Amino acid sequence: MLLELTQAEKPRAYAPKDTARLLGISERKLDELIRTQAIKSFKVGKSRRISAEAIDQFIKQQEKVARTA
């Protein structure tokens, strides 16, 4: 049985490792995207997080680039 989360149950921010897995890219590539500000992130103490909104924005931007290519 597939577990589906409601909107309220979904995380609002993800660790880089989880974000890389969600996007299907390596952590190294995600680090590069963060460094170049292609995907927005923030820090909580010493931990970096990427918001679900930033992930959605990044995906939409990549789709837009793919359509114009």
Does the pLDDT value for residue 1 go beyond 60? no
What does the pLDDT look like over 23-57, one tens digit per residue? Answer: 999 999 999 999 999 999 999 999 999 999 999 99
Distances (CA, A) of 25 to 17, 28, 32, 41: 10, 8, 11, 16
Over its C-alpha atoms, the chain yields an Rg (Å, rounded) of 13
